[in-house]
Amino acid sequence: MFFRSVLFLFVLNLPYLLFAQTVAVVSTTQIYDITKNIAGDDVKVLSILAPGQDPHTYSPVPADIEKVKSADIVIENGLHLEGKNWMKNLAADAKKPLVTASDGIVPLILEAHGEKINDPHAWFTPQNAAVYVNNITRALIRIDPEKKENFVMRAKLYLAQLRALDGWIKKEVSVIPPDRRVLVTNHDAFNYFAKEYGFVNTAPTGWSTGSEVGGGVTPERREKAVRSIKEMRVRTIFFETTINPKLIREIAADAGVRVGGSLYSDSMGDEGTPGETYIGMMRENVLKIVRGLK
């Protein structure tokens, strides 16, 4: 009887044993898309955040714990993008190896209340996204070395696409006169983009939409944003897809400027929207920025 039960269980699990797929669980939608581009169908990639969810303020739910338990590897953005380190904690609780996709990037330093904070929004330049690609490719090779050739070939194609994206952004933003390259958004997410492509940027909400030091909206920051808009004669300001546009609409009314639509920032778009991929979200943002500011 015992033998028969064991045999039955074995047969029941046979498909799993034969076709068990390596699983990578990632924190954000950007990392999900980058990882999918390298993994193809060789690795099952699961994301904790769905499109539209905010990584700064997210609190894991029981389903996330189950997802991480099934993982062979856990990939986070790092630099404290995941508020209160929720992805690090999930990986540690499940005793799963953790890879930080932004490892190796020299972070931009933000000053807030006398504290220095590493800006976590590193994916906003294709050059930094290429660092993510390298870290993720190495991680996937480590957990599934037999698929190395596939990962490497896909990574090379994706890196070529990121290179093309960078050249395209440079060319498109070149039509905005340098003194009009002022980017006003909800929260301080566009520093890397601004530095790479010659913009000045300001936001009424700090580096995080959450309650961390230097995060959240304050009356001083709101006032500073309105002042900057007037001083720099900004014509268009933007809200972000993950954040309620109310604040930006109020500021636009106060400063007498127009709203240039929503930019993808901490999350990509829903499936079927032009911002559902990393390259798509960067493309759509640049289109709106160029149309709004040129």
Partner 1 sequence: MRFLLTLAVWAVTAAVVLTFFVFRNNSSGSVEDVKNILPERDISIEITTTFSTEKDPFALNISDDKQKAFTVSLDGKAVYEADTGIEKGEPLILKAVKLSDGQHEVMVTSAPVSGAGDNAVRIRAVMDGVVLNDNTDWFTDGQEIVSVIRFDTGKTDGK
Q: Which residues bind to partner 1, rule: CB under 8 A?
A: 126-127, 130, 133-134, 137-138, 141, 152, 155-156, 159-160, 162-168, 170-171
Residue pair 171/186 in contact by the 8 Å Cβ criterion: no
**159 contact choice in Zn ion, partner 1, none (CB below 5 to 8 Å, kind-dependent):** partner 1
Residue pair 136/35 in contact by the 8 Å Cβ criterion: yes
Concatenating the DSSP letter of every residue in 109-130 gives EEEETTEEEE---GGGSHHHHH
Shortest distance, CB of residue 159 to partner 1, whole angstroms? Answer: 5
Helix axes 148-173, 29-39, angle to 10 degrees: 130
d(CA 79, CA 120) in angstroms, rounded, equals: 5
Q: Determine if 82 is a binding residue for Zn ion (CB under 5 A).
A: no
DSSP 217: B
Which positions from 249 through 268 interact with Zn ion, judged by CB under 5 A? 266
Q: Which is nearer to partner 1, 166 or 188 (CB)?
A: 166
Q: Which is nearer to partner 1, 80 or 154 (CB)?
A: 154
Shortest distance, CB of residue 105 to partner 1, whole angstroms? Answer: 11
DSSP 273: S
Shortest distance, CB of residue 129 to partner 1, whole angstroms? Answer: 9
Indicate the residue type of 197. Y
Choose, by CB under 5 A, the member of 189, 194, 251, 281 that binds Zn ion.
189
Give the range of 102-110, 140-148, 186-194, 282-290 binding Zn ion by CB under 5 A.
Answer: 186-194
Tokens of 72: 């062979």
Q: Which is nearer to Zn ion, 83 or 260 (CB)?
A: 83
